[in-house]
Amino acid sequence: MVYFLQEYFFNCFTRSASIILLSLSLLLPQLSNAAIPQKHEDFPQGVSAINPGSELWREVRQRDSAVTGISQVKGVETGVLINSRGGQWARFRIENPVKYAPMVLGVVFLVLVLFYVLRGKVGIEGGLSGQMVKRFTEYECIVHWTLAIVFLFLAVTGLILLVGRPLLIPLFGKEIFSLIASASKEGHNLFGPIFLVSLLMMLFSFVKRNIYEKGDLAWLLKGGGFIGDGHVSGGFFNMGEKTWYWIVILIGLVISISGLVLVSPNFGQGRLVMEISHLVHVFGAIILTAISIGHMYMGSIGTEGSLEGMKSGYVDINWVEAHHDRWAKECHENEMVISAEEYARLQGSKPDTAMEKEA
Amino acid sequence: MIEYLIDGPLWYFALVVFCIGVLWQLASIVFARSKTDLSVARGSATGGAWRNVFSRFVPHHEIAPQIRIQVVAGYLFHLGLFALLFFAAPHVLFLEENLLGFGWTPMPHWAFIVSAQFAFLGLIMLWLRRVVNPVSRLISTLDDHVAAILTFVVMLTGCFALLEGSTALRLLHRFTVEIWLIYFPFSTLMHTFTFLPSRAFTGAWFGRRGIDA
Ligand code: HEM
């Protein structure tokens, strides 16, 4: 990757002199004919000579020579006759993200399956009590699910664009894949900015409670409960959740901005910026998708009682004690705990059904 | 064959169901017998009707804080959908060639995309609010969900066909539009046509009784 980027910058900055590419291309057929090595009966092995055609092509492709093309056409990089870096970029894409993305996501998935089989759902000591505490407002739940829906749509369509060729063509054939790819591209481009908007809504509505504080380090040292006796201290959000939040915000912003650079090529950005944006976009998306699989697992089947918080905005007080003891204290002090009956009334259902569902 | 069906008979069938269904529903409202109001009028029914039609565009200040999400998402969705439905270039062209025989200046492509983004964001948030809010969830019927999801699917297939380079994707969009048109008169989607008369009716009733609401 570093070598690749070095190459990029090197190529860009060494092009300082100018030659008219058009005249070169007109000369090309004659010169390249002369460049074909001719075998002669007196020299059965052939004659070793520098191929003038290769020199010419090097100039045309503006590889490592100091050449800049000139064109009547006004626009970004219109003087580039053949973009050699494009080939490098395409190869890098196929040899790296296209190859490794399915592996990374597959490994994360398998690890979670294994984890679930070995450890099962992370339960709550003493089970659920049925007494609930308000954790998220309606707006916060809506913002979370909007972000999640839009993200998942982008993840699926993005992966189709990235690895659809090798994975889907064998399944559906070229014609159907071309439809899926075209639909995915349009869908991906249209939903990208919606992701940025929902990300900003998430940023503003959750930021206050995600600032790191003193007790968070202890959570990290205990590996989030996986090291030691298993009981870790946490505030409203624990260290793991806060870190997830900042990963979503920061990588999400990087993906969004690089995506905007890609989706609007008419703002004067050249190929280099586009190619780098593309790689940043792809790597950011793969990392975020991989971690989001872990988050989705932890937020649903992985942890007893978590999902209720994002569904109804309320969580069981025993869940709070188990995962957020410092916030639990606040809940008791401020008399925020409501009975199962009150919760059922607020949700418009009978208390026992709410409890049964959780169990 | 499928192309012929979607572009031909199914399209006409959907149009007929839509037009007759909507007219039937509206007529049944207009001709529904309501009891004659024998009370002495305390104010103008017409004035009340007009007032209510417009005043309901802005939420009442007492409930505004509780319904801010619906108001913002509602406007995003409805204005976005209206703009892209009637001012996106492919729609204007379609209406001109297939229905009206005349067209108008469409909006630029970027505005079409932004309208669609507003509409998608608004619709997703509106539907989420419906399922997250316990009261909305309780009073929502299957029809409410089907109407929202069907509209979303129509918008999504439209988005998939944006490149305008594939007959199959265009047909998919047109097919979902036809299903939507057929479903329309029998569902809450009818509020497109009934929201103004219903506001006027309530407003007239209020106006006659001198209720300032
Ligand atoms: C079906 C998939 C998902 C489920 C079941 C899920 C579940 C949850 C739950 C239960 C919480 C609350 C945790 C708590 O109470 O402390 C949460 C928080 C959160 N989720 Fe998700 N989620 C899903 C998908 C996503 C996706 C795709 C993203 C973004 C890419 C996302 C971003 C977040 C963020 C940023 C938070 C807040 C964390 C914090 O503020 O510290 N979620 N999720």
Going residue by residue through chain A, which has 359 residues, state the pLDDT in tens, using 9 for 90 and above. Answer: 444 444 444 344 334 333 333 343 444 344 344 444 455 666 666 667 777 788 777 777 776 655 677 888 888 888 888 887 888 899 999 999 999 999 999 999 999 999 999 988 888 888 899 999 999 999 999 999 999 999 999 999 999 999 999 999 999 999 999 999 999 999 999 999 999 999 999 999 999 999 998 878 877 777 666 665 566 778 899 889 999 999 999 999 999 999 999 998 878 888 889 999 999 999 999 999 999 999 999 999 999 999 999 999 999 999 999 889 899 999 999 999 999 999 999 998 765 554 555 54
Kindly state if the Cβ of A311 falls inside 6 Å of ligand 1.
Answer: no
Q: Which residues of A touch B (CB under 8 A)?
A: 138-139, 141-142, 145-146, 149-150, 178-179, 182-183, 185-187, 190-191, 193-194, 197-198, 311-313, 346-348
For residue A274, give how far its alpha carbon lies from the nearest alpha carbon of chain B (Å): 20
Q: Which value, to the nearest 10 degrees, does the dihedral of the CA atoms of residues A55, A61, A64, A67 take? A: 90
Comparing alpha-carbon positions, the chain A residue that sits nearest to B116 is A190
Kindly state if the Cβ of A188 falls inside 6 Å of ligand 1.
Answer: no
**Ligand 1: which atom is nearest the Cα of residue A306?**
10
Which chain B positions have a beta carbon within 8 Å of A193's beta carbon? 117
Interacting residues of A161 by C-beta distance below 8 A, sequence separation 6+:
A181, A184, A185, A188
Structure tokens at B178: 């036809």
How long, in residues, is chain B?
A: 213
Kindly state if the Cβ of A241 falls inside 6 Å of ligand 1.
Answer: yes
What are B57-99's pLDDT values in tens digits?
999 999 999 899 999 999 999 999 999 999 999 999 999 998 9
Selecting from B113, B120, B169 the residue whose C-beta is nearest the C-beta of A182 gives B169
At residue A348, the pLDDT reads 86
pTM above 0.90, yes or no: no
At residue B138, the pLDDT reads 93
At residue A351, the pLDDT reads 55
A289 Cα distance to chain centroid: 5
Residue matched to tokens 């093309």? A69
At residue A109, the pLDDT reads 97
Provide the 8-state DSSP code for B108: P
Distances in whole angstroms, Cα of residue B155 to Cα of each of A143, B73, B79, B120, B126:
21, 16, 14, 8, 15
For residue A124, give how far its alpha carbon lies from the nearest alpha carbon of chain B (Å): 25
The values of phi and psi at residue A70, to 5°, are -120, 140
Tell me whether residues A139 and B163 touch, CB distance under 8 A.
no
Tell me whether residues A139 and B169 touch, CB distance under 8 A.
no
Ordered domains of chain B (ranges, CATH): 2-20+66-208 (1.20.950.20)
A165 Cα distance to chain centroid: 19
At residue A6, the pLDDT reads 47
CA dihedral for B166, B167, B172, B178, sign (positive or negative)? positive
**Ligand 1: which atom is nearest the Cα of residue A245?**
35
Residue matched to tokens 């919760």? A343
Tell me whether residues B117 and A193 touch, CB distance under 8 A.
yes
Tell me whether residues B121 and A194 touch, CB distance under 8 A.
yes
Kindly state if the Cβ of A314 falls inside 6 Å of ligand 1.
Answer: no
Kindly state if the Cβ of A219 falls inside 6 Å of ligand 1.
Answer: no
- Cβ burial of B5 (10 Å; 0-12, 13-18, 19+) is middle
Interacting residues of B187 by C-beta distance below 8 A, sequence separation 6+:
B143, B146, B147
Q: Distance from the CA of A304 to the center of ligand 1, in angstroms?
A: 15
* ipTM for the complex shown: 0.93
Ordered domains of chain A (ranges, CATH): 129-358 (1.20.950.20)
For residue B65, give how far its alpha carbon lies from the nearest alpha carbon of chain A (Å): 12
Provide the 8-state DSSP code for A35: H
**Which of B114, B123, B160 to probe by mutation at the A interface, max A CB count within 10 Å?**
B160
Evaluate whether A355 touches A130 at the Cβ level (below 8 Å): yes
**Ligand 1: which atom is nearest the Cα of residue A300?**
5
Q: Distance from the CA of A279 to the center of ligand 1, in angstroms?
A: 26
Q: Distance from the CA of A136 to the center of ligand 1, in angstroms?
A: 12
Ranges of residues in chain B with a pLDDT under 50 are none
